[in-house]
Amino acid sequence: MEEINLRDFYQFYKKFFLGILVVCLLFVAIALIYNIIIKTPMYSASTTLILVKDENSSNESISQSDVMLNQKLVSSYSRIIKSRLVLEQVIQSLDLDYDFQELYDEVTVTSVNDTEIMEVTVTDKDADKAFTIANEIAIVFNTEIKQIYKLSNVSIIDSAILPEKPSNDHLFRDVVLALFIGFVLSSGIVFVIFYFDDTLRDVDVIEKEIGLPVVAKVFKDDSGIDLIVDKKPNANASESIRTLRTNLQFSSIDEDLKTILVTSSLPSEGKSFVSANLAISFAQTGKRVLLMDCDLRKGRQSNIFKVNGRKGLSNLLISDIHGYADYIFETKIENLYVIPKGTLPPNPSELLNSKKNEVLIEILKRHFDIIILDGAPVMGLSDSLILGSLVDKTIIVAAINETPKTELINTKKGLEGIGAHIAGVVANNLIARRGHYGGYYYGYGYGYGYEEGYGAAAKKKPVKKVASRVKDEVEEAEKIVEEKKSEELERTEKEL
């Protein structure tokens, strides 16, 4: 668990605001129902007694010993007030339909510290009974004390008065308390969820815990435009994509960067958005770019660029590869071409793992400066793992506040296991603040949609078909694939 960031918690907390409000209102409703409907109104009446000098004493002044004696008697007198001797006489005298225990529970005796004053309180659902019982207890008690101690030292300071309002009417207090409890409880639950949440919330975590460099931070754009690099070149998201392009170029100074795989751990992390705009960014530098939709299950590039998605990569791989040019579509973006996913096949992984696919990539590398492969999510599928071994660089798109760290770690392990060259992670779904593009300002909850699109219908193919040349290209590409496999086999044997 990384160090808790208060800004992150605040943003996380805001997502649960409605739920917290509902919990608070629920607790308030419970308090109102209890006070208004369920709770029985109770009335309290109190009689105040004081221990004084014995009326039968010949000494009219009160001595210190008298005070000390009365203070000691307070505890005894309190027990006598609630004794069976006194309470049963009260029941008989008032003809109450209570037994001793019921009346005992209604009587409370309190004494003021270090004084001879006692307060007898009776609480009952009937105001008249509370008033009558409180006064009767004082009378009976005084009588019994005279018989037990042979003293006449109890005096009534205040007789009980008839209560006008229930003593347990605490509606306002209970509502405030319920609101406080609901808020604290729901907020505590949100904090626990936040603390144990495995979601990737911090860009720094990618480098510190995942062990991968961040090659770009892609900021959101509220316009909902898919091809943002083309339509809004000055937007933060466009700057982010251009930064990604530059970082990829610098990461391959000593290598010929021709093929780039864009993948993610889970669906809906923005890999298709990144793939499309990265392709546009490379095309804007004058490079001849091909975008291959290799997510044969749920590829979106045909929708983004408005090309015929029913004729694409899957159809090409099950047909004669010599006709590859018929499956390449030109877009309205200069220098940018697309191969859509095609018809959903029953065996996507087998098609991508075929020798025909390797040969196709080798052929296409002769016609394009950059080939970007929009792969399927890694978790649960082998598609991108297969492609990762065929390309020069692989980038992983991770959505901040959506992607679980464990999934990203597993994606890294899977790609490394097949020998993929991971360029780094694209941190998606960031929110720029105060115009700071380069700074570390980001937030929550952004996903790029694909409803709005831009592009052209299928146009003429960019690769001229000459039968003899195509045949030579296929044969040469097959030879290169075989040589690569032989070299790989020799390396494996040497390692063993």
In a domain, 469, yes or no: no
Q: How confident is the model over 386-401, as a mean pLDDT?
A: 92
Task: State whether 223 and 277 are in the same domain.
Answer: yes
The confidence score (pLDDT) of residue 83 equals 92
Are both 430 and 300 inside the same structural domain? Answer: yes
Cα–Cα distance for residue pair 344/349, rounded to 1 Å: 12
pLDDT for the residue numbered 485: 60
418, two tokens: 């097949």
Is the pLDDT at 388 greater than 70? The verdict is yes
pLDDT in tens, 156-205: 999 999 999 999 999 999 999 999 999 999 999 999 888 887 888 778 88
Residue 59 has pLDDT above 80, yes or no: no
Residues 248 and 145 in one domain: no
CATH number at residue 335: 3.40.50.300
Same domain, 151 and 240: no
Give per-residue pLDDT as tens, 122-145.
999 999 999 999 999 999 998 988
pLDDT digits (tens, 9 = 90+) for 257-273: 899 999 999 998 999 99
Residues 417-469 pLDDT 10s: 999 999 999 999 887 655 443 443 333 333 333 333 333 333 444 555 555 56
**Tell me, what amino acid is at 366?**
R
Judge if 192 and 255 occupy the same domain.
Answer: no
**Residue 47 sits in a domain of what CATH number?**
3.30.70.1130
Q: What local confidence, expressed as pLDDT, does residue 196 receive? A: 80
Q: Tokens 């029913």 label which residue?
A: 310
d(Cα 334, Cα 459) in Å, to the nearest integer? 13
Tell me: do 434 and 354 sit in the same domain. Answer: yes
Share of the chain above pLDDT 90, in %: 50
pLDDT for 221 equals 73
Q: Could you tell me if residue 450 is inside a domain? A: yes
pLDDT of residue 321: 86
Regarding whether 77 and 52 lie in a shared domain, the answer is: yes
pLDDT value, residue 12: 79
pLDDT for residue 496 is more than 60: no
Range with the largest mean pLDDT of 24-33, 73-82, 462-471: 24-33
Question: 277-287 pLDDT, tens per residue?
Answer: 999 999 999 99
Q: Give the mean model confidence (pLDDT) for residues 20-37.
A: 94
Q: Six-digit token pair at 222? A: 């509220």
**Within a domain: residue 14?**
yes
Between CA 144 and CA 346 the distance in angstroms is 99
Amino acid found at 246: T
- Mark which of 178, 196, 214 sits at the end of a domain: 196
Residues 221 and 132 reside in one and the same domain: no
pLDDT band at 379, cuts 50/70/90? confident
- pLDDT, residue 182, reads 95
Q: Is residue 86 part of a domain?
A: yes
At a CB cut-off of 8 Å and minimum separation 6, what does 262 contact? 271, 274, 275, 278, 372, 373, 374, 375, 394, 395, 397
Domain count, the chain: 3
Segment among 4-13, 16-25, 80-89, 238-247 with least mean pLDDT:
4-13
Within a domain: 494: no
Q: What's the confidence (pLDDT) of residue 452?
A: 32
Name the least confident of 45-49, 268-272, 389-393, 477-481.
477-481
> So what's the pLDDT on residue 155?
87
What average pLDDT does this structure show over 314-322? 89
Say yes or no: 153 and 174 in one domain. Answer: no
Q: Is residue 426 part of a domain?
A: yes
Residue 57 lies in a domain: yes
Q: Does pLDDT of 219 surpass 90?
A: no
- pLDDT tens profile 162-173: 999 999 999 999
Looking at residue 441, its pLDDT comes to 38
128 plus 144 within the same structural domain: yes
Q: Is the pLDDT of residue 6 over 50?
A: yes
Residues 75 and 185 both lie in one domain: no
The range of the structural domain enclosing residue 227 comes to 203-463
Average pLDDT of every residue of the chain: 83
Q: What pTM was estimated for this model as a whole?
A: 0.64
Of 3-7, 60-64, 244-248, give the lowest mean pLDDT range.
Answer: 60-64
pLDDT at residue 406 is higher than 60 = yes
Can you give the pLDDT at residue 477? 67
Q: Which pLDDT value is given to residue 331? A: 92
Compute the distance between CA of residue 83 and CA of residue 490 in angstroms, rounded to an integer: 101
Q: Which residues does 276 contact at the CB level (< 8 Å), separation at least 6?
A: 226, 227, 291, 301, 304, 305, 374
- Output the pLDDT for position 201: 79
89 and 227 belong to one structural domain: no
Please give the average per-residue pLDDT across 78-107, as a whole number. 93
Establish if 489 belongs to a structural domain. no
